Chains A and B, each alone.
Chain A
């Protein structure tokens, strides 16, 4: 096999080794490249900043542990941002698998800012029905979610009593952390357009292009796309965390992939030139 053929058909195991090294080494040896937030992340940040203290934000955890690496850091950063602005948080989910992860980071952020469960935040858990749940929340929020994850009646909690939360119309901002359907688009179609709340969201990298039309129309005010979006957001709230740390391995891994793509194309180009010369 010639060098060109070898370059065009590199064994996938060699690529795997390089990708593994590209992830492990920068996790130990830091690059600390500066992070410049993108406009849609700034818009996400501004949407939360624009809320007056004491406003209620509903955060829907619409993902499973498979998307933990991308969505959990931005969920934690969102809770930190909300609590630092003295906003109240109602957590829930249209996916059953991600609730416990979200509840854990919700309590972590609450602990950091000295917030009380039931008064400053509540986790209502998973409710089956997707679009039906959103429509139900638009009619009767505490009646649809009924109880928090500790089994307490929502109507009896100070957060609901003090802020007189009856439906989605009483929630100024909804955040959907989405890894698929139901997710951001379900909230926009069945909730935002019907009940008039403002909407922002976070999503996995592969999903981000799907939401640009919603950003363009203003139906979605801001978007955190994948780990980079989360890192941008952590930079904006001045709480660099896991997402910022993930940027170094991700940078080197992307570079490695680009280098392999370049090698493949150089080999392809050389083989074309060689064939033409022979002909």
Chain B
């Protein structure tokens, strides 16, 4: 059992990890063919991942309903929506055109719901900004001034008042913001390289899951 659950996946991860690393740097036709084949496999595996995700989603929400966990009604809504939309998708033969049932659900239920969720953010951000942007320290004062400048730049009023506002905002975005972003990106990249190496070498095994 250990061979199937641990040794074989680790061997596959090592072989394919090294292979993908090598072919990325070898611009030969054979490398390209392998890369092409791998990307097709990747797409197929991604499609299967959707099925695994669906099974996981169902499992989690059915368990919540069965155990009557607080808020289990939302789980019931999730499963009902999943079933209804799957049926509508089959009835509409997968077409989301506005004259199909699935298209109707997409245009008049899903899109307005998503838009509403996103637009509600404006209200919460307004309330949060009022409470958060208080000049209690030097750092908080800098954050406050920067926020106001960027907020003014993000609307035509900024340039209407004075060209200095968009220019200052551009400076903020292109110098301090970019320096911070680059530092974060480099940190992330180093983390990804380290984690990838750990996976390829079999040190990191969390992706194999728990249990025997």
Contact = CB atoms under 8 A, between A and B. Distances in A.
Interface residues of A, number: 62
Nearest to A229: B154
Nearest to B174: A212
Interface in B160-180: 160, 166, 170, 173-174, 177-178
A213 B181 contact: yes
B39 interface: yes
A67 B117 CA distance: 10
A255 B38 CA distance: 52
B73 interface: no
B106 interface: yes
Contacts of B185: 213
A33 B129 CA distance: 25
Nearest to A150: B95
Given A23-B122, A212-B178, A269-B135, A258 B152 contact: yes
B173 A127 contact: no
A148 interface: no
B198 interface: no
B115 A209 contact: no
B32 A264 contact: no
B155 A66 contact: no
B43 A132 contact: yes
A4 B65 CA distance: 48
Given A38-B166, A128-B43, A136-B43, A256 B118 contact: no
A260 interface: yes
B117 to A, nearest CB: 6
Interface in B20-46: 32, 35-36, 38-40, 42-43, 46
Which of A18, A23, A136 has the largest number of chain B CB atoms within 10 A?
A: A136
A265 interface: yes
Interface stretch (A8-16, A51-59, A158-166): A8-16
B103 A228 contact: no
B126 A268 contact: no
B174 A140 contact: no
Interface string A63-82: 01111110000000000000
A201 to B, nearest CB: 16
Nearest to A267: B134
Contacts of B181: 209-210, 212-213
B35 A135 contact: yes
Nearest to B50: A128
A254 interface: yes
Interface string A196-214: 0000000001001110110
Interface stretch (A42-50, A84-92, A108-116, A245-253): A245-253
16 contacts: A33-B155, A38-B166, A66-B115, A69-B119, A128-B50, A135-B35, A139-B32, A139-B35, A247-B155, A250-B154, A254-B151, A257-B125, A258-B152, A261-B133, A264-B130, A268-B135
Given A19-B123, A257-B130, 16 more contacts: A15-B127, A18-B126, A23-B122, A36-B156, A66-B117, A66-B118, A68-B111, A100-B107, A128-B43, A128-B46, A129-B46, A139-B32, A253-B126, A257-B151, A258-B151, A261-B147
